[in-house]
Amino acid sequence: MSAELDELFGKEVRPQPRTVSVIVLAVTTLLLTAIGLMCSVIPAYLPALAAWNIAETDTDRLQEGYLGVESTTQVAWARRSSYVLLVGLSLVLIAQGYLVTTGFYAELWSGMLLLLLGPPT
């Protein structure tokens, strides 16, 4: 807490980009996407949008001079990766919409129910 206050009031602490937060949110998005392929990937948008928001905020902080010039590559990497994450998630959502309309999920879940419960008597 005191480090955050020192950073806020301009003490001798050099602010750092929040790249670790973007990485954690990206991994969370990928896990939710993998799990969501069985039903819906929409919940994976929450951490993906949070990662994008952090990357955009850090970009603004860099352009305003709040972050040092040495963090330019980290901020650029976080920004690019958050965009790629959102675009990839959107492509997965489009593919999932196609699978829903073709009846893939109906076949998948009925097959799983047959495996679990056995054939109807």
The reply to whether 113 falls in a domain is no
The reply to whether 46 falls in a domain is yes
The reply to whether 9 falls in a domain is yes
- Per-position b or e across 31-46, b if 16+ CB within 10 A of its CB: ebbeebeeeebeebbe
pLDDT confidence of 1, banded at 50, 70, 90?
Answer: low
Q: How far apart are CA 119 and CA 117, in angstroms?
A: 7
Q: What is the pLDDT of residue 43?
A: 92
User: What pTM does this model have?
Assistant: 0.77
Number of domains in the chain: 1
Q: Which domain holds residue 68?
A: 2-89
The reply to whether 110 falls in a domain is no
The reply to whether 118 falls in a domain is no
| pLDDT higher than threshold 90 for residue 65 | no
Q: How far apart are CA 78 and CA 116, in angstroms?
A: 43
Q: What is the pLDDT of residue 7?
A: 60
